[in-house]
């Protein structure tokens, strides 16, 4: 069960452009499929190598993504309030490349597990499609930012940063 009311969740979705076309009645139908999870600062949400069995909407706080080669750990990004996390491994069912952990102040998010998503697809397909579309937009943003980062790195290596 989640602590947000239907009205609060609807407003959150609208404020963060998540599943914007859902009505109040559809958000009310979605709530029983969701779980609320809270992690303290530094707590591991999921580790590299695990296959994602849930995706989540960050309600408060931030999630940090880190990469490790066994000796060094590097922060590769953060996602904050209003973002979707875990969607890549959830949909492609491949092991995660990065560790996800709660930032210093902790994080709370709404979780949709794979079994509940499978039920949602059958029982409320319109809502499931909205979540899928949100995941596509989230992945699109990730790819666009990655392209910008690669371009900036290339410019640095071959342009003004070259020695």
Q: Supply the pLDDT for residue 41.
A: 95
In the block, which residue shows the tokens 């790195």? Answer: 153
Instruction: Check: CB of residue 65 under 8 Å from CB of residue 27.
Output: no
Neighbouring CB atoms inside 10 A of 119's CB total: 14
Per-residue confidence in pLDDT tens, the chain, 163 aa: 799 999 999 999 999 888 888 999 999 999 999 999 999 999 999 999 999 999 999 999 999 988 888 788 888 888 899 988 888 889 889 998 889 999 999 999 999 999 999 999 999 999 999 998 888 776 656 555 555 555 655 655 566 555 5
pTM: 0.82
What fold is seen in the domain 6-158? Jelly Rolls (2.60.120)
Q: Where are the alpha helices (DSSP H) in 79-124?
A: 87-92, 114-123
Residue 14 tokens, joined:
């609208």
Q: What one-character-per-residue DSSP string does 56-76 give?
A: EEEEEEEEEEEEE-SS-EEEE
31 and 6 Cβ atoms separated by less than 8 Å: yes
pLDDT for position 44: 94
């Amino acid at each position: 069960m989640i602590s947000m009311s239907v009205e609060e969740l609807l407003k959150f979705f609208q404020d963060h452009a998540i599943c914007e076309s859902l009505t109040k009645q559809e958000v009310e139908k979605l709530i029983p499929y969701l779980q609320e999870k809270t992690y303290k600062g530094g707590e591991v949400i999921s580790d590299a190598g695990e296959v994602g069995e849930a995706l989540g909407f960050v309600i408060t706080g931030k999630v940090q993504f880190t990469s490790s080669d066994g000796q060094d750990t590097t922060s590769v990004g953060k996602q904050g309030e209003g973002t979707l996390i875990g969607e890549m491994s959830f949909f492609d069912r491949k092991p995660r490349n990065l560790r996800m952990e709660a930032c210093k102040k902790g994080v709370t998010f709404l979780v949709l597990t794979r079994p509940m998503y499978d039920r949602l697809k059958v029982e409320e397909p319109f809502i499931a499609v909205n979540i899928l579309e949100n995941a596509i937009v989230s992945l699109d943003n990730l790819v666009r930012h990655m392209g910008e980062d690669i371009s900036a790195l290339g410019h640095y290596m071959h342009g003004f940063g070259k020695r």
